[in-house]
Amino acid sequence: MSHAPKQEKAWGGVFNEPTDKRVEAFSESVSFDRRLADDDIDGSTAHARMLAACGLMTAAEAEAVAAALAEIRSDIAADRFEFSATKEDIHLHIESALTAKLGDTGRKLHTARSRNDQVATDLRLFCRRAIDRIDTGLAELQRAFVGLADRERDLVIPAYTHLRRAQPVLAAHQLLSWCEKFQRDRDRLADCRKRTNILPLGSGALAGTSLPIDREHVRQALGFDGLAANSLDGASDRDFVCELAFVISLSAVHLSQWAEEWIIWSTHEFGFLKLPEGFCTGSSIMPQKINPDVLELVRGKSARTIGNVQALLVLMKGLPTAYNRDLQEDKEQIFDSIDTLEAMLGVAAPLVAGTSFDRERIAASIDRGHLDATSLMEAMIADGVPQRTAHETVGRLVRLAMTRGMQLAELAEDECRREFAGWKPAFRNALGARHAVDRMQSEGSTAPARVASQLTAWKARLG
Ligand code: ARG
């Protein structure tokens, strides 16, 4: 009696009926998980060598497997590999190509392994590589901000709260504020990498294996920092996917906030920035338009990264212990988040590097809007005036200046003394945007010396 299965699935032995074609189309994942091919091959190569080290395969067999997997890798890279929904996913595709090349030797590869711990391993390798690329992209963007801050290091601009003129700052200070955000993103990535870089392989389907494997051998070969300690958890933990999706989304939110700010700053009304034309687009009907579409798309694309976090958390929330097929749905979300952020970073860094400030326009309006009111108030406080009194007095002086259409510095001495008996001419030293900036001193402030040392620190840090 023949032992040939009724159907050619890797899991077909128990089945009497073939899989419905509609089910094959519905449940396949190879259309998207083929992106795991390199990681799958890395994982399988390490697994085969471990099997040989443990006597579950000969060394010659393991090397034959490694060589055949290398050929499959180049076939896939060169588009010579045939994909089909009947073979479900990338893991079964690679294994069946291996068996086609090596026969029974290929049929040994899946010893002491399940696709459950296999896919978890592949996805961790994929995410680890993505984390490292994203970190490089964020560093590149930080370098672009530092470069622009360095070129504009003496420029004073208005800073806003509630999108109303608030206090003057150095442009460099504002630019370096983005470096802080992207540094926290990089720190979060590094932290997420620690939990990503744990090896699930050896968890088997969920319970481990009765075969004498050596997980430490695979861990070293694949550069993981540790082993998943519990096989049930190891085969089904997707925390690292959710975390990475979140870290990406927060980075995308930072990029979106930056894009929004620069869209505003580059309007005709603000006129602070000159964006590089290569990073703007035109209108097919209004010939005069030079639009910030790249910045708008950076802002717009952040939305899908936020949606992906939600999709992943909702995917996970109903799953009982160990592998459930729902987990196959994690890949498109995390792939999309990774692709989206990398695309955003790919245009953001050169856009920042190619941007300059319109120094003349900024200088023409920097002393409007009473940006120096807080500076005046603090000069009075430093002279012993109670803060509330100083605040009220400067408020009255601003009101007076507003009714006259003047700036604070243009009010006459006797007018100031009329508003406040303790007025001193030296208070005027605090007026004017440039002076207000120069008088700053606190750590982390826009004081020129502080900003200069921040710039130095960033340059040293980013190399
Ligand atoms: N394509 C599957 C996934 O992405 C691989 C694991 C399938 N395991 C299983 N027992 N059906 O999750």
CB 348 within 8 Å of CB 260: no
Q: pLDDT tens digit string along 89-139?
A: 999 999 999 999 999 999 999 999 999 999 999 999 999 999 999 999 999
User: Pocket around ligand 1: residues whose beta carbon is below 6 Å from it?
Assistant: 29, 33, 89, 115-116, 119, 323, 325, 327-328
- Report the alpha-carbon distance of residue 215 to residue 429 in Å, rounded: 71
The yes-or-no answer on residue 435 being catalytic is no
Q: pLDDT tens digit string along 355-406?
A: 999 999 999 999 999 999 999 999 999 999 999 999 999 999 999 999 999 9
| 30 CA to centre of ligand 1 in angstroms | 11
Report the chain's mean pLDDT, rounded to a whole number.
Answer: 96
Would the pLDDT of 408 be above 80? yes
Task: Work out which ligand 1 atom sits closest to the CA atom of 90.
Answer: 1
The pick from 114, 119, 127, 315 for probing ligand 1's pocket by mutation, whose C-beta has the most ligand atoms within 8 angstroms, reads: 119
Would the pLDDT of 5 be above 80? no
- Report the alpha-carbon distance of residue 245 to residue 364 in Å, rounded: 44
Query: What is the arithmetic mean of pLDDT over 149-157?
Result: 97
Among residues 2, 162, 268, 442, the one annotated as catalytic is 162
The residues of the chain that CATH labels 1.10.275.10 are: 22-111
User: 375-391 b/e with 16+ CB inside 10 Å = b?
Assistant: bbbbbbeeeebeeeebb
The residues of the chain that CATH labels 1.20.200.10 are: 116-160+168-363
Q: Give the domain 22-111 fold.
A: Fumarase C; Chain B, domain 1 (1.10.275)
Q: Whose CA is nearest to atom 2 of ligand 1?
A: 328
Shortest CA distance to 198 belongs to which of 174, 181, 221, 223?
A: 223
| 328 CA to centre of ligand 1 in angstroms | 6
DSSP assignment letter at 281? B
- Report the alpha-carbon distance of residue 5 to residue 24 in Å, rounded: 18
Q: Give the domain 368-462 fold.
A: Ribonucleotide Reductase Protein R1; domain 1 (1.10.40)
| 304 CA to centre of ligand 1 in angstroms | 25
pTM: 0.96
| pLDDT band, residue 12 (cuts 50/70/90) | confident
Q: Whose CA is nearest to atom 7 of ligand 1?
A: 115
The pick from 116, 203, 238 for probing ligand 1's pocket by mutation, whose C-beta has the most ligand atoms within 8 angstroms, reads: 116
Q: pLDDT tens digit string along 38-48?
A: 999 999 999 99
Shortest CA distance to 157 belongs to which of 175, 178, 181, 144?
A: 175
pLDDT at 7: 61
Among residues 84, 283, 356, 453, the one annotated as catalytic is 283
DSSP string, 222-273: HT-SEE-S-HHHHTT--HHHHHHHHHHHHHHHHHHHHHHHHHHHTSTTT--E
Q: pLDDT tens digit string along 192-208?
A: 999 999 999 999 999 99
pLDDT at 10: 85
The yes-or-no answer on residue 162 being catalytic is yes
| pLDDT band, residue 2 (cuts 50/70/90) | very low
| 310 CA to centre of ligand 1 in angstroms | 22
Of all residues in the chain, the percent with pLDDT exceeding 70 is 98
Shortest CA distance to 439 belongs to which of 394, 360, 377, 392?
A: 377
pLDDT at 374: 98
| 198 CA to centre of ligand 1 in angstroms | 19
Query: What is the arithmetic mean of pLDDT over 398-417?
Result: 96
The pick from 115, 118, 201, 331 for probing ligand 1's pocket by mutation, whose C-beta has the most ligand atoms within 8 angstroms, reads: 115
Domain 116-160+168-363 has CATH 3.10.20.600: no
- Measured in degrees and rounded to the nearest 5, phi and psi for residue 205 equal -65, -40
Task: Work out which ligand 1 atom sits closest to the CA atom of 29.
Answer: 1
Q: What share of the chain is helix, strand, coil (3-state, %, to 5)?
A: 65, 5, 30
CB 170 within 8 Å of CB 448: yes
pLDDT at 170: 98
Question: Which distant-in-sequence residues (6+ apart) come within 8 Å of 60 by Cβ?
Answer: none
The residues of the chain that CATH labels 1.10.40.30 are: 368-462
pLDDT at 6: 56
Task: Work out which ligand 1 atom sits closest to the CA atom of 205.
Answer: 10
DSSP assignment letter at 355? -
Q: pLDDT tens digit string along 275-300?
A: 999 999 998 998 898 899 999 999 99
CA distances to 58, 201, 214, 229, 296 from 54, in Å: 9, 15, 7, 20, 56
Q: pLDDT tens digit string along 30-73?
A: 999 999 999 999 999 999 999 999 999 999 999 999 999 999 99
| pLDDT band, residue 75 (cuts 50/70/90) | very high
pLDDT at 442: 97
